[in-house]
Structure 1
């Protein structure tokens, strides 16, 4: 019988991308509003206008944990690692070149730095997350071998060390091991997913632990974020990254992994295209133009604003999903043609 992925985890992948895109709604579509509110000392309103901001890092960590959950317990060869990396790179390159071509037709001239970022998106770090994720995938064979024989206690010790140096140190501006959004924290999230796959079994106790971790750490994030806005008069707070977001993500992962395994073809189908949501919405030629359409300046009720934002993000994700279906069909066609040319 063909093994199918647990749809609970695939639904969590969709939720992780929803969190990331909601974060970008607050950051890019509502950044100007929050700056205005802060400048006029309407700090509570500024906080609500940035309501989705902390969700981004939780979403990123969940997305990487899922990779660790699926890949961390496998014996991945260097060849398999390179193949997976090239598959990711092909998708990145497709959208990078697609939007470069559209930009060359719609706006002229294209700035040199954007040209290089489009032609070599990983080398010139067009997407920080993609660059980090590609490096992580190349390291996976060695990471997996390094942790394969660890006992649960040894693994827990490793995670504790990584949480301190990659999850706490960056919050006090110590970036010796990682920035708040850097390779170190992605490796840490990957190993959290691996730890769950190796040692966590489905039971009510683990579900309650996950619920507590998610609720408590998310509340802490929002409380500290609010007081940082008050103290710094700045929307670019960093407390929602690091250990609190990591533990919140781990808690949410524990909740979903302890649900009864199910299979829903729709969830699994949609989840396969979620990476494209990030690649499209964060493309250097799309980002500002996209979010400039969703400032919602005419809306002053911030609760309504955030509801509009949620609806907007869901529609954007649907649009990206449909676009990526076309991209996937093109890749399958190219693969089919290549196979036929090899075997005439």
Structure 2
């Protein structure tokens, strides 16, 4: 029997780190957004920048998370069956939390429309979007990242065929086209290849992960290049963020999905994959459940109450706010992983029950058939 490959704990830690960046972004976006708006309105622009210090980190985390998938899967032959099973597993996890929180939301009479000012007047059943998003999470794009990731998994068999048939030069040309269209064009308000959040940026990150695994020699030189990429591009990101918030007085910064965020992610990714491989059972176990952090914290019924609880509105010292925010996010992530471990045990028991039931039915049919023959 073929042994399951042991995952490099450096990369599994990077997976968790990417989710930390995503969740810190949400802390700034949802937990500190109202504070930042008031600070901007009152002319306290530097304080507004401080209150949104984690805001630019979200897309860096998204890029890294998908690069890991490309690193592991990009050079493999993935069948339609494997792709479908992976998509179903993701959807099962997603649907579990969507339905659970839907029942909780209905039981406690939580709002069925969290963002009425953002609704599309042409959307059918517009008065209960939370129910639609919970019952049909992919169709109504409950979580953009999950929707894009599931679509990526469905096209991976075909994407990998192309990537493994073309040579290095052709992949470089493909990457150039993809990076320009999905990470530079959006900075110019050109979303023809991808919205600010969408499948295009996810596919680009996947191809980069595959390219690094297949063509880059990983060691001290790649570690140094990664450090250079990460430092330079993170500095550029925060310079642009500072300009957007303090000069343009606009907190929805343009850098969410952009070239600099992508290059920062490439740099951080290179740093971790260049390290000597290590193995830690606990770390690898937690990393398997880290996706649940996104599913739980970004649930349509959870998002507002959660970040309202951790907005720290009674604290005026913004350094303390951000430190407490980091601690809160780490605690939230740990709790979400623990919840998902319980969820996985429930799924495992249900799977065992289905297997036992099937075996029982087969045995019963065999018993009936053998008795009929005797008769």
Q: Decide whether the 8 Å contact of 2:9 with 2:280 is kept in 1.
A: yes
Aligned partner of 2:274 in structure 1 is 258
Identify the residue that residue 46 of structure 1 maps to in structure 2.
Answer: 48
Shift, 1:116, TM fit: 0.9
Does the CA-based 8 Å contact 2:168-2:215 persist in structure 1?
yes
Question: Which residue number corresponds to residue 134 of structure 1?
Answer: 150
Shift in Å at residue 149 of structure 1?
2.2
The residue that corresponds to 1:242 in the other structure is 258
* 1:221–1:244 CA contact under 8 A, matched in 2: yes
Aligned residues of 1:225 and 1:240 also touching (Cα < 8 A): no
RMSD of equivalent CA atoms: 1.1
- Between the aligned partners of 1:253 and 1:321, the Cα distance in structure 2 is 23
The aligned counterpart of 2:91 is: 89
Q: Residues 108, 283 of structure 1: CA spacing in aligned structure 2 closer, same or farther, 3 A cutoff?
A: closer
For 1:314-325, list aligned pairs within 5 A. 314-325=330-341
State how far apart, in whole Å, the 1-side matches of 2:111 and 2:177 are: 48
Q: 2:71 aligns with which of 69, 72, 75?
A: 69
**Number of equivalenced pairs:** 344
Q: 1:140: Cα distance to partner?
A: 0.3
In structure 1, distance between residues paired with 2:355 and 2:228: 51
**8 Å Cα contact 2:196/2:256 also seen in 1:** no
- 1:109 CA displacement: 7.3
Separation in 1, partners of 2:301, 2:108: 10
In the aligned structure 1, how far is the partner of 2:274 from the partner of 2:137? 38
Kindly tell me: are residues 2 and 152 of structure 1, through their superposed partners in 2, closer, same or farther at Cα, counting changes over 3 Å? same
Tell me what 2:284 maps to: 268
TM-score, normalised by the number of residues in structure 2: 0.90
Question: What SS class does the counterpart of residue 139 from structure 2 fall into?
Answer: coil
Q: Deviations over 1:276-330 (max 9, x none)?
A: 0000000000000100011112222211111100000001011101111110000
Match of 1:98 in 2: 100
**Which position in structure 2 is the counterpart of 1:8?**
10
User: Are the structure 2 counterparts of residues 109 and 29 from structure 1 closer, same or farther at C-alpha, using a change threshold of 3 Å?
Assistant: closer
- Rounded to whole Å, the distance in 2 between the matches of 1:295 and 1:3 is 42
* Alpha-carbon contact 2:181-2:193 (below 8 Å) kept: yes
1:5-61 deviation per Cα after TM superposition (whole angstroms, max 9, x unaligned): 000000000000000000000000100111111111111111110000011000001
On the 8 A contact 2:49/2:246 being kept in 1, the answer is: no
Q: Of 221, 224, 227, which residue of structure 2 is paired with 1:205?
A: 221
Q: Distance in 1 between matches of 2:5 and 2:249?
A: 52
**Aligned counterparts of 2:340 and 2:197: Cα–Cα separation in 1:** 26
**What residue number does 1:158 align with?**
174
> Per-residue deviation at 1:131?
0.7
Report the Cα distance in structure 1 between the residues aligned to 2:351 and 2:307, rounded to whole angstroms.
35
> Which whole-Å CA distance do the structure 1 matches of 2:28 and 2:347 have between them?
33
Does 2:81 correspond to 1:79? yes
* Runs of 5+ consecutive residues of structure 1 not aligned to the other structure: none
**Residues 220 and 240 of structure 1, relative CA distance in 2, 3 Å threshold:** farther
Q: Distance in 2 between matches of 1:92 and 1:53?
A: 25
Residue number among 338, 349, 364 corresponding to 1:333 in the alignment? 349
Give the Cα separation in 2 of the matches to 1:341 and 1:293: 44
For structure 2, list consecutive stretches of 5 or more residues without a partner in the other structure. 113-126, 361-375
Rg larger for = 2
Residue 193 of structure 1, aligned match among 190, 209, 213: 209
